[in-house]
Structure formats: C-alpha cells, structure tokens
Amino acid sequence: MTTYLTPSPKMQFFDANGNPLAGGKLYTYVSGTSTPLTSYTDYTGNTANTNPIILDSRGEADLWLGTDTYRLVLETAANVLIWTVDGVSGSFSAADISYLAAGAGAVLTTVQAKLRQTVSVQDFGAVGDGTTDDTLAIQAAIDALSQAGVGGTVLLPAGTYKITENLDITWPNSTDQNTPGRITIQGEGADLSYIYDYRSNASAATGGAITIDFTTGYANKFFTMYFGEFSLIKKLNATTYDSATTTYSIGVGTGLYMKNVPNTGEFRNLRIIGYDVGVNLTDCLAIVIANFNVQLADLGFVVAQSTFSEPTAMQFNSCTVSGIKSLAYLIQGGGPIAFNGGVIEECGVMSGSSQGTSGAIYYQATAFLPTQLVIDGVFFEGNAGAADIYINAPVSIASRASSSINNCMFARNSATIYTTNNIYVLNNSATASLIVTTISNGFKGYSPYVDSGSRLYITKAGTNTAGTIIYNLGNFYDSAVETPTVVIDITGSSGSQNLQSVTTVGSTTTINSQFNGVNIGTFSAVPSLTTTGSTIGFGNSTNAALLVAAAWRGSANNLNDLGASGVNGIMSTPPPTT
C-alpha cells in the first residue's frame, strides 16, 4: 500500500527563543504591498480570518490562503516584528515542478513545458459530454496553436463534443512555405472521439462543420500532416433514409470542407454521417483520403475546381461509401483520380437524383490531363441509377485521355434497384478521344436480380462513340445476355500483344499476338479455365521469328494511342537493318 506524509494540519509559530508565540499576531497582505488580503479558517473559504490573526496559547492558527499571492508579517503580542515573508502562495503550478526524461542527454525542463508539447480541446474547456456546447473551446484550441506560430496537433480525447458553428482552420500567418503554424485535429479513433453537429441551417449554409480553407496566405502552401481518427455526425436536420419506402430526406450542410489545400499528408479514419454533402474538396491537389466511412448524404464526395486548379493526383484508399442518394463521388475534371480498394454500396436512386444522374462514381472529363480515372480493387454492390462508373465527355470538351478500371467486382443483387450499366462512357464531344482499359474485373448478378439485355455490363454512347475505345482483358462476365458488345482487342501499335479475352463461361476466346501490326500467333477455342495445369498455346508460334523480322521491315514509325510519333513501348525508331 502506498502512503503519504500529511501536511501540517495547523500552522504553529514561535518567538525568537523557540517558544510558542502565544497571543502573537499574523498579518496577511497582498504580495508586495501593505494592502490587507483575506485568509480563511477552513478549506471551504466561507469564513474569513481576522486580520491580524491572533495566535492561541500554543501559537497556532487555522490558516487557509486564497488563490492570490500573499505577504505575511509576524509580530509578538506587543507588536514587535519577528519576520516578514513575501511571495507566499497556497498553490503551486506545473511550472514549479521539474521534469527530466530518462536516458543520457536528457535536458531538465518543467512539467508545464512538457505538458504543453500537446494541446487537447479539454485544456480549453471542452467537456465532451454530448450536451455542453464545445464549439468555442475547440476553436480556441485551434486558434491558440495557430496564433502562437508553432502549429501542431489539437487532440480530441475520447468523448462526444457538441458544436453549433463551423470549426475553422486557416493558413497560418506566414510568408514562407517552411514557417511552422499548420494545425491538424486528431481523435483517439472513430469509435471513441465524436463531434456532434448541431449547427442551424444558417450556420451550415457555408463551409463545413470542419472547414480547412487555405485561400489566403502564402501562395505555395502544403498541408503535410495527418488528420482524422474521429467521427463527424450531423444531429440537427440530418439526412435520413426510410427503408420501408426506400426514400431519402436530405439534410443540410457539409461535413468536411476543404478549399485550396495542396496536401502531402493524409486524411484518414473519419466517419461522416448525415449531411447533404459528406466531403467537399474544392481546388485541392494531391489529397490522400484513407479509410473514410461516409454514409447518409445526397453526395458522398464532391471533387471540383472553382478558381485555383482542377483536382490533381487525388487518392481514395480503402474508403467505404454507402447509403448515398445521388452520387457516391461527383468528380469534375482533373486526374489522375485513383481509387485503391474500398466499397461503394447502396448508392444512387432509380429516379429523383439532385444531379440528373445517379450511381457510384461520376467523372466529367476535361481537356486538362491525359490520365483521368485509375480504379483498382473496388467492390461495387447494390448501387442504383445510370452506372457504377460513369465517364462523361460533354459537348466541346477536347478531352484526350485514358482511364483504367482493374480488379473490381460489380454485383447486382436486387430485382428493382440496380444500375443500368456497370461501366458507362458517354462521349458527346466531336473532339474528344476517350480510352478506357478494363482488366480482370468481375461482373455478376445475384438473386433476386434478373438478367436483362438492356443492362449490359459495359457500354458506350453519345454522338461520338467512334472517339471512345474500351479495351478489355481477363474480365469475367457471368451473364451472356449482359455481356458487352463493345469488346475491343487490347492492341499496341508495335511490339505488343493483341488480346481479346472478354470471356463468358463456355464461350470462345481468341488470343492474337501481334508485332508491328503483323499477326505472329493465333489461338481460338473454348479454354478449360477451371482445369489445373491446362495449357493455351499460339497456333503460329513456330513462325514467330520470321514474322517478327518481316514486321520490322514494315513502316518506319507508328503512331501511339495519343497520336505522338514513336513505336509504342519498344523504342522511338526501328533498329538498323543489316
């Protein structure tokens, strides 16, 4: 058992000979002055001592000090001065306690300095009980770090924090990219740290419950920190879903709003529920979004340009978006926009979308960048509306770009709620050239869903379908009636294989191997894909060497897919002949 030495329960005073100062007088003043300052008879502070305090026969007195600093003067009963002591305090702070870390080379500091290395919203009065309005306390914690010019992490300890206004993070007052001052917020995990959003409709009309706006400040600014580990839940005028009628009631406001934020850090592990727009990324570059869970909104993510730049080098890693009325992701231009893993399920409606179309990922092409969508390993299930992936080149947009969709799973599992197409490419621009490569994707319907030839897995449309090429390799199509008719061989202008392997179970698959436009081998049959150790060979493989040599004697240069000169994937000019 741990025990402690008790402090003196009573104060006792002595005369110059060491005898109890019976009848002595103790005066209490404001430190550094002769202004009387009250002391108290007990810990409650309800009863004041006389001033001076008259000591009893043992020279004792009950002496409890207030929060101020005192000057004490001790005299005999005959008013003879014994001593004066100034700067007496009944309390002490962390600044008065030393701290030394373990290990060689550690430097002595104070407990106060050590504790101030981290800042918690509770340091500024946040309660985290879900009832107390913690808006001002959280904003004060953010502002304290920003104004100090040091920046840092605002900790959101486990708890439920109520807010009624936007929480704002702006670019620090600096004129140098390398000046400190950036602020981030981190909780203890999305299941432990919660922000409950009780903003009124007027407060929620602009920005977001958390707004990160770097519009003003130094021109070249980057957010290089980690942000997240908490939940952001709309509690007032929130989006709800009625499963009985399959209808949404859309709430007000945005959860996380970012404007003009170039990023080399990461936003991770946020749960955002109940908004009109879950996350709005406007004029943002190189944002990495990881392990977000966005639910119950009209739009899950909006990624767009306003005045600064189209979205560039954006990543969405292992995110889950579900229960979204109109679109899980609304992306307006830019690229590459990468999706790595994650789930998009039960997003979109059969009618009534706020955007005129509905589904999972909607991308509106621009002429800005030649690489647009890069989607890998995403699970699409139970979505509704036009398409799981919708790529649109509007009229007069001179987009010449490629997108790739690989290793994804597309599942339809309802008889009444589904997407018309899993992948839909609309090209209405006479000057647009869209290339979409699909590799190793799976497409399947599950009972009670009923296959229909009007809902092909992949299709293209618009006034310039000739300007759209959709390549396929190694895709699995479960339904023959929904197998796409826009099957195009994967080809390279030179030195590449031409593989037509959009395969339906039991159908014939053709594999051509081409070199510089010359076929050097063909296989066409129904492959035994489920037999271990089965072999597929090239019919003309014995002639490959001669055919390759003949191919090199063809045209000197070829055009690659984007129209530039060169031999695609091998070298810029053919080797010299001997």
Q: What is the 3-state secondary structure (H, E, C) of 517-572?
A: CEEEEEEEECCCCCCCCCCCCCCCHHHHHHHHHHHHCCCCCCECCCCCECCCCCCC
Which two structure tokens, joined as six digits, stand for 268? 């991770």
Mean pLDDT score across all residues of the chain: 83
Alpha-carbon distance of 249 to 32, in angstroms, equals: 67
pLDDT at residue number 486: 79
Q: Give yes or no for a contact between 205 and 175, defined as CB atoms under 8 angstroms apart.
A: no
Q: How far is residue 118's CA from residue 124's CA, in Å, rounded to a whole number?
A: 12
Ranges of each domain in the chain? 11-89, 310-488, 499-578
Digit-coded pLDDT (tens) for 58-98: 999 999 999 899 999 999 999 999 999 999 987 777 777 88
pLDDT tens, position by position, 414-434: 999 999 999 999 999 999 999
216: which strand partners? Answer: none
Give pLDDT, residue 366.
86
Return the C-alpha torsion angle 222, 227, 231, 232, nearest 10: -20
Q: How far apart are CA 49 and CA 41, in angstroms?
A: 6
pLDDT band at 356 (very low <50, low <70, confident <90, very high): very high
Cα 300 to Cα 254: distance, rounded to the nearest angstrom: 10
Cβ neighbour number for residue 88 with a 10 Å cutoff: 13
Which has the minimum average pLDDT: 11-15, 128-132, 148-152?
148-152
DSSP notation for 348-393? --SS--TTS--EEEEEE--SS-SEEEEEES-EEES--EEEEEEEEE
pLDDT band at 546 (very low <50, low <70, confident <90, very high): very low
Tell me what the mean pLDDT of segment 522-526 comes to.
53
pLDDT at position 529 over 80: no
The C-alpha atoms of residue 224 and residue 220 are separated, in whole angstroms, by 13
* Structural contact between residues 260 and 214, judged by C-beta atoms closer than 8 angstroms: yes
Q: What whole-number distance in Å separates Cα of residue 422 and Cα of residue 397? A: 24
Reported as a pLDDT band with limits 50, 70 and 90, residue 195 is: very high
User: CA-to-CA distance for 229 and 184, rounded, in angstroms?
Assistant: 11
> What is the domain class of 11-89 according to CATH?
mainly beta
98-104: Cβ within 8 A, 24+ apart: none
Helix (H) or strand (E) run with residue 337 in it: strand 335-340
Q: What percent of the chain shows pLDDT beyond 90?
A: 60
- Distance of alpha carbon 507 from alpha carbon 528, whole angstroms: 10
pLDDT score of 324 more than 50: yes
Q: How far is CA 459 from the centre of its chain?
A: 32
Whole-number pLDDT of residue 510: 55
Burial pattern 202-234, b for ≥16 Cβ within 10 A else e, equals ebbeebbbbbbbbeebeeebebebbbbbbbbbb
Lowest mean pLDDT: which of 128-137, 237-246, 293-302?
A: 237-246
Q: Is the pTM of this model over 0.95?
A: no
Q: How does pLDDT run across 224-248, given as a tens digit for each residue?
A: 678 999 999 999 999 999 988 989 9
d(CA 275, CA 237): 8
Tell me the sheet residues that pair with 25: 54, 75
209: its two tokens = 């419950």
pLDDT for 552 equals 39
Q: Within the chain, what is the greatest distance between any pair of CA atoms? A: 126
Residue pair 300/348 in contact by the 8 Å Cβ criterion: no
Q: Are 236 and 195 in contact (CB under 8 A)?
A: no
Q: Which of 266, 343, 260, 328 is nearest to 298 (CA)?
A: 328
| Whether pLDDT at 406 is above 90 | yes
Q: What is the CB neighbour count within 10 angstroms for residue 44?
A: 8
pLDDT of residue 122 exceeding 80, the answer is yes
Q: In angstroms, what CA-CA distances link 371 with 107, 162, 313, 399?
A: 52, 42, 10, 10
